[in-house]
Amino acid sequence: MTTDTTTKSAPTGATPGEPVLDARGVTMRFGGLTAVSDVDLTVNAGEIVGLIGPNGAGKTTFFNCLTGLYVPTEGEVRYKGQILPPKSFKVTAAGIARTFQNIRLFANMTVLENVLVGRHTRTKEGLWSALLRGPGFHKAEAASRARAMELLEFVGLAGKADHLARNLPYGEQRKLEIARALASEPGLLLLDEPTAGMNPQETRAAEELIFAIRDKGIAVLVIEHDMRFIMNLCDRVAVLVQGKKLIEGDAATVQSDERVIAAYLGEPLANDPGAAEAAEVEAAEAAAEAAAQTAPAKENDR
Ligand SMILES: Nc1ncnc2c1ncn2[C@@H]1O[C@H](COP(=O)(O)OP(=O)(O)OP(=O)(O)O)[C@@H](O)[C@H]1O
């Protein structure tokens, strides 16, 4: 009889700066269509990395290759040095958790129950223990509930633990998805368009939450279309265009790259972060230049 009801420990954390995720030459073909072509991407411990690109660039397909939903046609993906197994539940158990572009919650379950579902890879209540509901089972269940409540507290939903998921406003459903992903105690969190459909206030809150997740030692890879959000948030940004990685670098490098502007946006980045400050500096420089030009005239006037 299996009675082991201990909670499995979280995957050991990587040393800051060491690769958590290492994807090499990842290619995914669907028949004649190459959705992802020879993409390399590394995410180091302590980093938030962004993945951007136009619609259909292959971002979600690439995520699916990282999480075992798809087995890449070519290439390999390592998590903390180990090649990932080609099954999504095994990838979750290894330490990679994700959220989805379209929210996937159990709508008719409570907020707390949704997070408890996310804990199943970290608990190992045996079948008999669960059926008999012995003391070991109750202890493990209590520990899981306590951890789930901690996570709800962390994302700001503890007060709504008993609400049905479907009754939460949209922004809170996204937070709940993140809490559920965190319940598997990941070392890497993949977020697929976490601010889609959010208002600016919710987007700012999401940004704070992702920084807090990073500060807990969880590396983050995030797909987003909101440029202001991604450029403020990420240490590095990779750009996919037609399945290929066009460029990778910090926000300033990516935003000023002619190919990115031409291929991805067709025009300078909308909501360019720092644009207001840049305009202010430009205006101040112009004013200083104008003042410098009039100054000698004043001298001569004397
Ligand atoms: N299961 C599949 N079978 C066939 N083609 C697919 C499949 N999944 C994705 N594709 C195709 O692969 C390409 C990349 O799609 P993907 O969804 O990865 O892009 P994306 O960058 O995530 O786009 P978006 O920003 O719109 O979500 C598209 O041409 C898409 O139609």
- Closest C-alpha to ligand 1, atom 7: 30
The pLDDT of 150-155, averaged and rounded, is: 96
Pocket test for ligand 1, best of 28, 39, 60 (most atoms within 8 A of CB): 60
* 41 CB near ligand 1 (under 6 Å): no
Alpha carbon distance 184, 116 (integer Å):
9
* 226 CB near ligand 1 (under 6 Å): no
Q: Which ipTM did the prediction report? A: 0.96
Which numbered atom of ligand 1 lies nearest the CA of 62? Answer: 18
Contact (Cβ atoms closer than 8 angstroms) between residue 160 and residue 111: yes
Q: Which two tokens stand for residue 50?
A: 């962004």
pLDDT in tens, 204-214: 999 999 999 99
- Closest C-alpha to ligand 1, atom 10: 35
pLDDT in tens, 272-282: 444 554 455 56
DSSP 147-166: HHHHHHHHHT-GGGTTSBGG
Alpha carbon distance 91, 199 (integer Å):
32
> Which has the higher per-residue pLDDT, 280 or 119?
119
Walk across the sheet containing 82-83 and list its strands: 33-44, 19-30, 74-79, 82-83
What pTM value is reported for the model? Answer: 0.80
